Amino acid sequence: MSTTTTAAAAPRARAAAYTRTFLDRHSSMMPTFAALIIFVALLIGAEVHFGNFLTPLNMSALLLNYAYLLILAVGMTFVIVTGGIDLSVGSVMAFTGISCAKLLGEGYSAAVVIPVILLGGAAIGLLIGVLVQYFDVQPFIASLAGLFLARGLAFVVSLSSIRVENESVLWLQTTRWRLGDWYITPTGILALSVAAIGAFVMQYTRFGRTVYAVGGNEQSARLMGLNVARTKVLVYVISGVCGGLAGLVLTAYSGAGYPRNGIGTELDVIAAVVIGGTLLTGGTGYVLGSVIGVLVFGTINTIIAYQGAEQSWTRIIIGLMLLMFIVVQRVIVVRSERRR
């Protein structure tokens, strides 16, 4: 009897050991897997409740409506993985968006305006990176200064909304490439391209590995001979460029630039990145995880709209999810420290 019991228990023991080994080796990906599970659960739950949620039109609109947020999330992932934070992204988006509308209205071509606004976003990101690296200013304070600067510049450009009539910019949003009932716009392709490039850079380039090393242990990264200073500055420049690109996408989406655009967007971006599995302490995170986080955020917004409830419920739900993911992250960090 005991021999039979032992034989039956052996496979369970091996399975348990395999599971523990898998979780230990891939613990950093657990929040991302959790976000993916939540995303799938939201889609299934919404389909069961509403009956017509999982349609090609709704799923295509998800990327259309949140392309700007996806672009911002890519840049924010780089910053947070290094252990930093960038509160300026919403204001940079507003500044570059209103600047884009203003310059186009004055007759400049899109071929000139788009590089200019991207350089404007990069300049603000560079300023924040220099403050963080060379003046030892905390990322929160440095990016807060960038937030006020970019928002102030947006109001300097214009105090009111400026309509965009440039066909080249509006083409980004109005064009639909269809495959049956599915469709995608140039803004959606742009957002997916930024995410793909970001994921490739993070996972397969020397710069990406340096970003992870700086976030994991900055002092060790220096001892390894890695260029910590350049990396910390560049991640903020990348975030600034993404802010400029998001400004272009949002301007094309709304058909106008507005200096008050993006208020609170930086918090939405941070929430999406954290829900996607990026540790706020740095060293761990995935661009594809941030993509999932944006999709979760967008799906919750869409469900709330379907329900006809107040949009304040979106904030409540995202806040609760953010709290849950921060707790999960803390458990992962504690387990990692114990293994050391």
Q: What is the pLDDT of residues 106-138, one digit of tens each?
A: 999 999 999 999 999 999 999 999 999 999 999
Find the radius of gyration of the CA atoms of the chain.
Answer: 22
Neighbours of 228 (CB within 10 A): 18
pLDDT number for residue 99: 97
pLDDT number for residue 180: 86
* Ordered DSSP codes for 49-90: HHSS-S-HHHHHHHHHHTHHHHHHHHHHHHHHHTT---TTHH
* Residue 296 near residue 66, CB atoms below 8 Å: no
pLDDT-wise least confident of 28-32, 182-186, 192-196, 247-251: 28-32
pLDDT number for residue 339: 60
Burial class of 77 by CB neighbour count within 10 A (0 to 12, 13 to 18, 19+): buried
pLDDT number for residue 335: 66
**Residue 101 has what DSSP assignment?**
H
The pTM of this model reads: 0.90
How many angstroms separate the CA atoms of 207 and 194, rounded? 16
pLDDT number for residue 312: 79
pLDDT at 252 over 80: yes
Place of tokens 């004055």: 106
Domain coordinates of the chain in residue numbers? 29-332
Half-sphere exposure of 264 (CA within 13 A, CB side): 1
Average pLDDT, the chain: 89
Between residues 20 and 52, which one has the greater pLDDT?
52
| Amino acid type, 107 | G
pLDDT number for residue 326: 77
Between residues 304 and 81, which one has the greater pLDDT?
81
Find the helix packing angle between 265-275 and 312-339, rounded to 10°.
Answer: 40
Report the candidate in 200, 248, 289, 287 with the shortest Cα–Cα distance to residue 98: 248
How many angstroms separate the CA atoms of 108 and 152, rounded? 23
pLDDT number for residue 1: 47
Query: What would the CATH number be for the domain defined by 29-332?
Result: 1.10.3470
pLDDT-wise least confident of 76-90, 226-240, 306-320: 306-320
pLDDT at 310 over 90: no
pLDDT at 330 over 80: no
pLDDT number for residue 22: 47
Q: In the predicted model, what is the mean pLDDT of residues 39-46?
A: 92
